[in-house]
Chains A and B, each alone.
Chain A
């Protein structure tokens, strides 16, 4: 697996994250659940920026950036604000795991990007009712 393959994997995840954060935001009332809405909006913006950055990196590496899927499977339990926040939190945690894995598979500036993305995702978890973790993106260390 090359570093470009790793970037493509993370890019595929970002495509999904952008789609799903948009869906979650659309199901959230800005006036009824302002904190969750703001966190989802922040997540959407952040993942859209990462996606665009990754597209540029993959293209610069001479590869064709992987395209987004037409649609993605939605999480269940989106009927309540708490359920939407929970789905957003799980999505952010999933992204953190992907970024952490990508840290291991990249070097130099690309690794720097993944470390930054992991840190950002971990902090965004807090806005989605998450609590600080001991090993964001690397849960197995906490389970020792």
Chain B
């Protein structure tokens, strides 16, 4: 429930007007969605008593909204910065374009849910060397992003934001594994 308040605050702040929560109210919706999925474990076991998470038991109950808004924007910046590297490698080395397309698509999708601030400027990717070295740079950037997303998920005050960031980190892990 508090995230609705957070979304309202975020939407009213110019800096986040099209950003973290204002664009589609993603995080606001996440609270209810998290509650719906909290008992997925029941898929795996015989029918027993059900237990719904309660607001008082959730870590989100004691949230400082601005902290999570900033954290989500920071995560969005990290995603955008990594996408800039992937895009630059794809531009520079056409033979890697197709191979890196899933990574680029992933970051764009994640960036829609966790957008950087409108005026964010991503550092230019410095590319030197061979396609193999460029690919190694991408892997390193993805590894760093995954670690940062995990760290962000750990520090999120809101359980819903923590879940979203953890899921995004898992997506990065999957894509890295698929990249080989």
Instruction: Name A's B-contacting residues (CB within 8 A).
Output: 1-3, 5-6, 9-10, 12-13, 15-17, 20, 69, 72-73, 91, 94-98, 100-101, 103-108, 111-112, 114-115, 118-119, 121-123, 125-126, 131-138, 140-142, 144
- Bound-state CA distance A140–B36 (Å) is 10
* 6 A-B pairs with C-beta separation under 8 A: A98-B44, A103-B166, A104-B162, A107-B59, A118-B167, A137-B167
Decide: A13 and B167 in contact? CB cutoff 8 A. Answer: no
CA distance A6 to B41 in the complex (A): 10
Q: Are B52 and A101 in contact (CB under 8 A)?
A: no
Interface 1/0 per residue, B24-37 and A, CB below 8 Å: 10100000011001
Q: Let me know if B171 is at the binding interface, CB within 8 A.
A: yes
- The tally of CB-CB contacts under 8 A between chains A and B is 160
Enumerate chain A residues within 8 angstroms of B51, measured Cβ to Cβ. 1, 5, 9
| Chain A residues touching B, majority SS | helix
Taking CB atoms, residues of chain B closer than 8 Å to A111 are 59, 153-154, 162
Please, which residues of chain A bring their CB within 8 A of the CB of B168?
Answer: 135
Closest to B161 in A: A104
Query: Given A5-B51, A112-B154, A132-B174, A16–B167 Cβ distance below 8 Å?
Result: no
Report yes or no: B45 in contact with A72, Cβ–Cβ below 8 A.
yes
- B interface SS class: helix
Contact A73 B159 (CB under 8 A): no
CA–CA, A101 to B54, complex, Å? 13
Nearest Cβ in chain A — how far from B114, in angstroms?
10
For the complex formed, measure the closest distance between the CB of B54 and the CB atoms of chain A, giving whole angstroms: 6
Known: A97-B43, A104-B58, A135-B171. 17 other contacts (CB 8 A): A3-B57, A9-B41, A9-B51, A12-B41, A20-B44, A91-B44, A94-B43, A98-B44, A100-B37, A104-B60, A104-B160, A105-B57, A105-B159, A111-B59, A118-B166, A119-B169, A121-B170
Nearest CB on A from B90, distance (A):
17
